[in-house]
Amino acid sequence: RLADNPALSAAVEQGCVIPVYILATEEESPWELGGASRWWLHQSLSGLAKELDQRGSRLILRSGNALETLQQLITETGATAVYWNRRYEPTIIKRDKTIKQKLHGDAIDVESFNGSLLFEPWEIATKQGDPYKVFTPFWKSCLARNAELTPLRIPKTLRPPAEWPNSEILTDWQLEPKISWDDGMREFWDVGESAAGKQLAKFAKRSAASYEDQRNLMAEDGTSRLSPHLHFGEISPRQVWAKLQATLDANPDAKDGAKTFLSEIGWREFAYHLLYHFPHTTKKPLRENFANFPWSKSKQDLRRWERGKTGYPVVDAAMRQLWHTGWMHNRARMIVASFLCKHLRIPWQRGAEWFWYTLVDADLASNTLGWQWTAGCGADAAPYFRIFNPITQGEKFDPTGAYIRLWVPELAELPTKWLYKPWEASDSVLNEAGVTLGDNYPAPIVDHSAARQAALDAYDKIKKS
Ligand code: FAD
């Protein structure tokens, strides 16, 4: 993005600027971009290139080893400084440290900035100087800092170099899927900085005041849908913060909604705090006894979950929303994650991997936190024994059934009462709605009560160990 981009603003102060994006796929390993993220990245880079063009600048695209690419560009252009905004994924921290050292050694002025968090993960600590593992005191400690969070403006001018270096061509990178999987994503999303700004403005005006009441209703447009924009840096949390403060000043009735919404931004900060201090948690449980959990290895169950064919309508609706749009409602994420880890007892890591591949907002910090939280093995996690009931969750958070009807159209004609548990409906009700269980909609893959008990028994084993 161009607004509130500290690295860009600092570079502009120094002289002419060459904006560069380096695609270094292998360096992201083991978390190379998933399919949906690649799609988003393509649209996002294309949008950024247009914004830069309009201001007489350009976006230079290069692929390959990041350090070598930068050194090559420095040789080609005579650049004397390299600035970027920090990332916090463990392998990227390591890589960027090496780049900094090497370029310093080449007498280049190198600086990194905070462009994507309200607070650096290392700035917040308990009185004993330890990282937080519980959200509420963490967020209180963030808020108590009363930090200056005013976003930076778009630089007035971006001075171009005398000669532009060559750029690779975006379409040559083949970031978009080869199969026509992205139709739904195209329909659902406007990508890029200006789309992100519009989405924030729309949310602040229409939904912030009702966020508290609406945010759990899966069929409603009650949340901001800013997650992919935030993840890809098209908008910054400082911009979100400033906009919500302005909304609060103008509309005191929005107080509760805005406060809750900002605490969700706080969860994002918490996720980065945890990722920074406990980098192993992307693969391993924070609570170590969970390493001995008797997980199931059923590939068939995993596949049915991924494809939205579990026979539990609310779970299937959510998984199909994910596949179609690259996004899933937060309430739905909790329901499907709980179903995978508890009803099917499949390791949370398998669920995290599927989300990583299919979410347009796939984010190592938030995804890890979300999965460990739901599986009961992370920081401030939901206790394992609190098992989401996929029937009552649907009744409560999709009370009209609109969410299920939209994503599981084969059940659309069922009366709402049976929509959450079609296997309990009589043959005549099913017939009238055109539903044949096991034929045009699956029978439930597990029995809720039996699966719940099996999960609790499994948990008892690790509790004792
Ligand atoms: P809003 O309700 O409008 O919230 C505003 C912003 O706050 C979001 O855009 C997001 O940046 C942040 N936020 C909200 N809830 C959370 C949360 N629980 N944890 C961290 N940040 C939060 N979020 C991701 O951005 N990427 C992920 O890969 C991701 N994986 C998840 C996996 C699981 C199993 C679960 C339970 C949650 C996951 N989340 C993830 C968190 C959350 O579901 C999404 O951030 C949210 O649904 C995005 O929609 P929104 O922008 O409309 O959210």
- Give me the mean pLDDT over the 188-196 stretch: 98
Q: Residue 243: which of 235, 232, 233 has the closest Cα?
A: 235
284 CB burial (10 A radius; 0-12, 13-18, 19+): middle
What is the per-residue pLDDT across 395-449, written as a single tens digit (0 to 9) for each?
Answer: 999 999 999 999 999 999 999 999 999 999 999 999 999 999 999 999 999 999 9
Q: If pLDDT is split at 50, 70 and 90, which confidence band does 386 have? A: confident
Known catalytic residue at 295: yes
Check 295, 395, 410, 423 and give the catalytic one. 295
Cα(366) to centroid(ligand 1), Å: 7
Buried b / exposed e along 143-165 (16+ C-beta atoms within 10 A): eeeeeebebbebbeebeeeeeeb
Known catalytic residue at 371: yes
Buried b / exposed e along 91-118 (16+ C-beta atoms within 10 A): bbeebbeebbeebeeeebebebbbbbbb
Cα(323) to centroid(ligand 1), Å: 17
Cα(86) to centroid(ligand 1), Å: 20
Q: Is 225 in the pocket of ligand 1 (CB under 6 A)?
A: yes
Q: Is 414 in the pocket of ligand 1 (CB under 6 A)?
A: no
Which protein residue has the closest C-alpha to ligand 1 atom 30? 367
What is residue 465's predicted lDDT score, i.e. its pLDDT? Answer: 66
Q: In angstroms, rounded to a whole number, what is the distance separating the alpha carbons of residues 225 and 229?
A: 8
pTM of the full structure? 0.97
| Interacting residues of 139 by C-beta distance below 8 A, sequence separation 6+ | 263, 266, 269, 270
Known catalytic residue at 264: yes
What is residue 463's predicted lDDT score, i.e. its pLDDT? Answer: 81
Task: State both tokens at 184.
Answer: 């739904």
